[in-house]
Amino acid sequence: MRALSRSLVALLLCATFRAALCFIDGLLPNGNFEHSPKPSDMKGTVVINYKAIPSWEISGFVEYIKAGQKQGDMLLVVPEGAFAVRLGNEASIKQRVKVTPGMHYSLTFSAARTCAQEERLNVSVAPDSGVLPVQTLYSSNGWDSYAWAFRAVFDVAEIVIHNPGVEEDPACGPLIDSVAIKALYPPRPTSKNVLKNGDFEEGPYIFPNTSWGVLVPPNIEDDNSPLPAWMVESLKAVKYIDAAHFSVPQGRRAVELVAGKESAIAQVARTIPGKTYDLFFAVGDANNACAGSMVVEAFAGKATLKVPYESKGKGGYKRAVLRFVAVSPRTRIMFYSTFYTMRSDDFSSLCGPVLDDVKLLSVRKPLKKM
């Protein structure tokens, strides 16, 4: 029922604005770059007309890349379809999309590093902007999908993805493919959970034909987080995964803590000082060959709990509970993984324990101390 009502709301909003580019969730127009420029707008692989790529505007050194194309000894791979774009020094791609002022949206796009080790991307929708590091690889094929969220201020969002890098080779920049958008609906606390979005069902768009999930970058505030109500308070990303490609303890979505203590997720909950609360959560593995000894550390104010999990990398989970007494009107709830873990099938991809079904409930009759 909730999904149906959201669809009806989105359709009504689209009907209200009567915009050709108004859609619910999914790829932007030509978001996978499969509609190519005309040969007259190309010079080799370089796009020379700023409106040559249908539905997009470009600036700077932008290349139109075909799957299987070589760069020296390196074979360039495209994750979906046959084409992608590469952003050279100070290059950008831009598209305008009709949105609803006041609503939150999440962008998802796939990116791959080609040359430099410390590549990054600026993503912006005025007045919001953010810098996404792309140097750490989390998948074995060299591509990762990233999420970034914004709050619409105007009825048209100008989406810009920009490479701020300055390399000796102007063509040495990241590949971009499959750009999508999804409307985010603000979750609310309920009588069954003080936390918002504790099941992680509300989150960024996940491409149905990819099997590596979506990275939610670090240091994102909860106001514009791709995971509504949650903050990524760490140096590295957390991964948003789906039940279609991974083992998920409950529902359709969960979070994988992929970078040890550098991959933390947090939420501030309203609590009553002196009252006892139970923090329930599930810890497991994603059935992605992430095997070994794992530990998830949970924090609720000053209370902590370490939950060990022996993973065989084939799916499964266990449940845990942290009981604590609130000492302030707001209690910070946080989770991170104690250890770094690598996938056993390629020994190059970071992975980690799965977190799901997080619930915070007040305890009516606290247990008496023995």
Of the candidate ranges 65-79, 160-174, 199-213, the one whose mean pLDDT is the lowest: 65-79
Whether residue 369 is contained in a domain is answered as no
Alpha-carbon gap, residue 285 to 249, rounded angstroms = 9
> 81-138: per-residue pLDDT in tens?
899 999 999 999 999 999 999 999 999 999 988 876 678 899 999 999 998 888 777 7
- Residue type present at position 321: V
Q: What is the pTM of this model?
A: 0.90
Of the candidate ranges 154-168, 237-251, 311-325, 335-349, the one whose mean pLDDT is the lowest: 335-349
pLDDT on residue 359: 98
Do residues 205 and 253 lie in contact, with contact meaning Cβ atoms separated by under 8 Å?
Answer: no
Contacts of 44 (CB under 8 A, 6+ apart): none
How many other C-beta atoms lie within 10 A of the C-beta of residue 126?
12
Residues 164 and 25 in one domain: yes
- CATH number of the domain encompassing residue 249: 2.60.120.260
**17: three-class secondary structure by DSSP:** helix
DSSP codes of every residue in 264-276: EEEEEEE--TT-E
Residues 157 and 200 in one domain: no
**322: three-class secondary structure by DSSP:** strand
Whether residue 367 is contained in a domain is answered as no
pLDDT on residue 336: 95
How many other C-beta atoms lie within 10 A of the C-beta of residue 188?
9
Number of domains in the chain: 2
- CATH number of the domain encompassing residue 36: 2.60.120.200
With a cut of 70, say whether residue 22 has pLDDT above it. Answer: no
Domain enclosing residue 98, as ranges: 2-183
